[in-house]
Amino acid sequence: MKNTLTRAVIYVLGGAISYGVLATFVKLAYDGGYKLVEVTMAQYAIGLLYFIVAALISNIKYKRNPVSLGRPALWLMAGGTTFGLTGYFYYLALQYIPASIAVVLLMQTVWMGVIAESIRQRKMPSPLHGAAVIVAIAGTVLATNAITQLDQLDIRGLLWGLASAVVYTIALYTSEVTAPGIDDTGKSLCMLIGATTALALVNVRAFDTTFNFSIFWTWGLLLGVFGTIIPPLFLNKGLPVTGLGMGSVLISIEIPVSILMAVTFLPEKVSPLQWVGVGCILCAILLINYKRLSAKSEPAAP
């Protein structure tokens, strides 16, 4: 059991780290002259192609029928649209603000999820969750350097970053949809069909004869592997074992990874005060998941 949990933790960390490197790759792709439509479509199209091939091989190997377009598959596709829009809004924000700030805005799902849960249950957040929301917001103010440099941040980037957090919050709720009879590969395929369809619709006006197809074998390949192939494979293997509480805490490693990548490979600087803000956000995640983590650590009944 211990080895199983250790492997699951490694899978979840691997998936989160994979997500964490994306912002830097997108920034570098923009610097290389590629456009938003090229970056987003290449990433999701490559991921979609991979899972189509993987599903076909899996069906032949295990003699399974293809995923039927029943209600579970359609719900997964609908949920996939929210993941696609999250990536679109996040990458749009990266056109205007540093990657180190964009990832902080994306992780506002920390407190948005608490508010959404309270609305759904029609009750006020617990004192612990209320404190976590305050800590998360205070951490965001510090991590984005909003106190001293708010006038230097492009408002468009801030708004798109917050929009990505709103859609990501919705996406996390849709990810709880169960799909009996559909394996992990089939689930990933259905969600990517939804995500790619959503991106094609929002990008339809941006398609023109100047689309640079070289994105598919340059940055698009890296974005596809680290953004739409590794994370679904790793998280689907790890999260069912770690549970949502521990999983949420592990996934939060995406924040420092994304910032470290930006500091290392991009001309971005992060002050000590901003790192304090990141620490506050991580503490808020721990507070929100405290009960789940405590329950996970309790020994099983004989």
**Residue 219 confidence (pLDDT):** 93
Query: For 14-47, how does the pLDDT look when each residue is reduced to its tens digit (9 = 90+)?
Result: 988 998 899 999 999 999 999 999 999 999 999 9
**Tokens at residue 205, please?**
């006006």
CA 56 to each of CA 49, 102, 179, 194, 294: distance values in angstroms, whole numbers, following the listed order: 11, 37, 19, 18, 41
Q: For 116, how many CA atoms within 13 A lie in the half-sphere containing its CB? A: 16
Instruction: State which H helix or E strand residue 47 sits in.
Output: helix 36-62
**Angle 184-185-186 (CA atoms, 0-180°, nearest 5)?**
90
- Please state the rounded mean pLDDT for residues 253-280: 86
More confident of the two residues 6 and 248: 6
Query: For 157-208, how does the pLDDT look when each residue is reduced to its tens digit (9 = 90+)?
Result: 999 999 998 988 887 776 655 566 677 777 888 888 999 999 989 888 777 6
> Which three-class secondary structure string do you get for 161-194?
HHHHHHHHHHHHHHCCCCCCCCCHHHHHHHHHHH
pLDDT category at 299 given cuts 50, 70, 90 is very low
**Residue 300 confidence (pLDDT):** 40
**Residue 38 confidence (pLDDT):** 92
Cα(186)–Cα(179) distance, integer angstroms: 10
Query: For 251-264, how does the pLDDT look when each residue is reduced to its tens digit (9 = 90+)?
Result: 788 888 888 888 88
Which string of b and e fits 238-247 if b means at least 16 CB within 10 Å? bbebbbbbbb
More confident of the two residues 265 and 140: 265
pLDDT category at 65 given cuts 50, 70, 90 is low
**Residue 237 confidence (pLDDT):** 79
**Tokens at residue 1, please?**
């059991």
This prediction's pTM: 0.84
- Any residues with CB less than 8 A from the CB of 193 and at least 6 apart, and which? 48, 77, 80
